[in-house]
């Protein structure tokens, strides 16, 4: 009798365990049959929300102003007006200086005007007056530095700047000085209004 009861209990326990295994297996199949598709759908929606772009995207940088527009003719005219206080005499000399500018660069153009005999004579009286007013001598501020300031910045040198650039002139030459002054913020400010200067030069000069 005890043996029969034990067998019945054993059979019942086995049936329960087997039933639980079947139910668990079905639940697992149900659990993993659906989510693969739903995860893909969620990923797709996230991708669309996160990385959606317009049909015709505009990749241009916003609010970047165009640089001032000027040409070689304007540069040569302004060189005459700034360094020599006059217009070019004819088209031939203009073309010659344009060729210098385009083939040898801005510093060669500046050197040509700064070291010219005409500029030296032109500024002599005002250069002497500048030295006297500031109790300076020609060794302290060279005339070429004075002319470079007049031509590039349209003003006389400040004393400390003039002395500093005179030191650089003796060490490195006039091209170094012209490039240095042309890389200053003050010259950049002049370039910002260069289109107005170009228009004025065009109205003033025939060549």
Is residue 115 classed as helix, strand or coil in its secondary structure? coil
How does pLDDT run along the chain (207 residues), one tens digit per residue?
Answer: 544 444 445 455 455 554 544 444 444 444 444 444 443 444 444 444 443 434 444 444 444 444 445 699 999 999 999 999 999 999 999 999 999 999 999 999 999 999 999 999 999 999 999 999 999 999 999 999 999 999 999 999 999 999 999 999 999 999 999 999 999 999 999 999 999 999 999 999 999
Distance CA 29, CA 13 (A): 25
Look-up of token digits 């349209």: 154
Distance CA 185, CA 189 (A): 6
R_g (Cα) of the chain, nearest Å: 42
Residues 6+ apart with CB under 8 A from 202: 74, 77
First to last CA, the chain: 132
Q: Say yes or no: domain 72-204 is CATH 1.10.3130.
A: yes
Distance CA 74, CA 196 (A): 11
């Amino acid at each position: 009798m005890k043996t029969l009861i034990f067998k019945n209990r054993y059979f019942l326990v086995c049936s329960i365990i087997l039933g639980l295994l079947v139910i668990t297996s079905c639940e697992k199949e149900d659990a993993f049959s659906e989510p693969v598709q739903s995860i893909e759908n969620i990923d797709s929606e996230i991708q669309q929300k996160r990385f959606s772009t317009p049909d015709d995207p505009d990749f241009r940088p916003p609010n970047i102003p165009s640089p001032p527009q000027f040409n070689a003719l304007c540069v040569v005219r302004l060189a005459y007006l700034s360094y020599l206080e006059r217009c070019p005499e004819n088209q031939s000399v203009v073309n010659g200086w344009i060729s210098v500018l385009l083939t040898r660069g801005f510093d060669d153009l500046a050197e040509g005007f700064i070291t010219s005999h005409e500029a030296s004579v032109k500024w002599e009286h005002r250069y002497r007056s500048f030295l006297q007013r500031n109790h300076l001598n020609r060794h302290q501020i060279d005339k070429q530095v004075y002319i470079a300031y007049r031509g590039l910045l349209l003003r006389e040198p400040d004393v400390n700047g003039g002395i500093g650039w005179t030191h650089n002139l003796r060490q490195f030459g006039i091209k170094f000085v012209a490039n240095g002054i042309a890389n200053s913020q003050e010259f950049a400010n002049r370039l910002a209004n260069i289109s107005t200067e170009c228009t004025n030069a065009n109205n003033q000069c025939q060549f």
